[in-house]
Structure 1
């Protein structure tokens, strides 16, 4: 643990704010869906199992307001709305990769199950 750097109060507040945003139900799944190429609302909803249209719209608004997702209206008939990760959203998704790997290895702990470290 010697390689872990000190986190001051301001950095701690930012960490808490960031993890609360990403930790909201559906947010990470939406970011991942967009990162994997889903650009239209219906494709995002289809890519995230259990996500309702209402919750998708709400989370997409939050992610857009946070600067993680960019929303573009394409003036066609009918109008199309496309979503993409911003630079910050792409960087966040990359930062979440180690956490996803940890979850793959140690996810049972999050489910309340005891697990010994694999050698």
Structure 2
């Protein structure tokens, strides 16, 4: 069985990054052990591009899952998720979830979601905002 780094290296070959020339691959593991895969998909209209983490989250949701237990991201160096992806991941990952950031050559940094996005806007923040907006 391939290891997560081997799977990420294989995924990198599938990324569509003709503009940045910076392929990124992501794998998300759910609490029940299912793996979901994503690669960055760029577009000539840059705002329409999708990061690997967003693609993996979309696959996870389409697969019927709603919780993230662990995340791996690989690029040429050991990229951390961008700010938007940190917010997208935090929708489904608690603050304790490990995010492994790997380079193709094997270097790895591991962060917790709370370290990557310490003040995440969470679904429960919407409930609090709605309660406040409705009055006491």
Task: Please report the TM-score for the alignment, with normalisation by the length of structure 2.
Answer: 0.24
Larger gyration radius, structure 1 or structure 2: 1
Task: Please report the TM-score for the alignment, with normalisation by the length of structure 1.
Answer: 0.27
Greater helix share, 1 or 2?
Answer: 1
Greater strand share, 1 or 2?
Answer: 2
